[in-house]
Amino acid sequence: MRLLVAITGASGSLYAQRLLDNLDAGQHEIRVVLSRYAPVVIAEEMPGGLRLPPGAIEHNLKSMNAPFASGSNAPDAMVIIPCSMGTLGRIAHGYSEDVLLRAADVVLKERKKLILVPRETPLNLIHVKNFELLIQAGATILPANPSFYTRPQTVEAVVDTVVARVLDHLGVEHELAGRWKEEREV
């Protein structure tokens, strides 16, 4: 699979890190792009910085010289994790002024898989209307809402309950979080 992971300036950089930790660049082509504000939030939330898996390729936000900037070379899937409401709104309204936004536009028009992982809470009507537009355009909104029925014991394990759902939607096999009714009877 040819996969583009985009990271924005929403809280939850760890979601992006755990997704990258669970993608094998030997098996998939992994490209990464950061929004303008992503580095600010990453510095705040992960002082050690973002670790890319060996073999992953990072792209410059301001260069359109990336394969995924064109419908002729669209990725199979794009995940925006975490996704700020700003980026989400810009995609919903067709802004394409940087390569992250352009890639999302391309993925939608080429009917590939676009997964957005917003964290924002609470939501206002503008957010909800943008969700509606994006779902109508074919995107998947997969909010960073962790689950607790597997009794996660660490921050990473909580984060992984969301990352597991992202991997499920990508069709990537994983053993990150148990599935409902796979646990022992209670």
Ligand X SMILES: Cc1cc2nc3c(=O)[nH]c(=O)nc-3n(C[C@H](O)[C@H](O)[C@H](O)COP(=O)(O)O)c2cc1C
Count of residues near ligand X by CB under 6 A:
17
Q: Does 117 bind ligand X (CB under 6 A)?
A: no
In angstroms, what CA-CA distances link 170 with 85, 90, 93, 100, 113?
A: 22, 23, 24, 19, 8
Instruction: Indicate which single residue of 5, 9, 68, 107 sits in contact with ligand X (rule: CB under 6 A).
Output: 9
Rounded to whole angstroms, how far apart are CA atoms 33 and 128? 25
Q: Which residue(s) pair with 140 in the sheet?
A: 115
- Our CB check for ligand X shows the closer of 44 and 183 to be 44
| Three-state secondary structure call for residue 2 | strand
Smallest gap from residue 54 Cβ to ligand X (A) = 26
Q: Does 41 bind ligand X (CB under 6 A)?
A: yes
Binding mask 76-115 for ligand X (x = CB under 6 A): --------xxxx----------------------------
Instruction: Indicate which single residue of 44, 58, 97, 132 sits in contact with ligand X (rule: CB under 6 A).
Output: 44
| Three-state secondary structure call for residue 103 | helix
The answer for residues whose C-beta is within 8 angstroms of residue 94's C-beta and 6 or more apart is 105
Instruction: Indicate which single residue of 36, 39, 76, 157 sits in contact with ligand X (rule: CB under 6 A).
Output: 36
Instruction: Indicate which single residue of 4, 5, 10, 79 sits in contact with ligand X (rule: CB under 6 A).
Output: 10
Q: Does 140 bind ligand X (CB under 6 A)?
A: no
| Three-state secondary structure call for residue 70 | coil
Instruction: Indicate which single residue of 17, 50, 92, 120 sits in contact with ligand X (rule: CB under 6 A).
Output: 120
Rounded to whole angstroms, how far apart are CA atoms 160 and 165? 8
Nearest to 50 by CA among 6, 91, 93: 6
* Contact residues for ligand X, defined by CB under 6 A: 8-11, 35-38, 40-41, 44, 84-87, 119-120
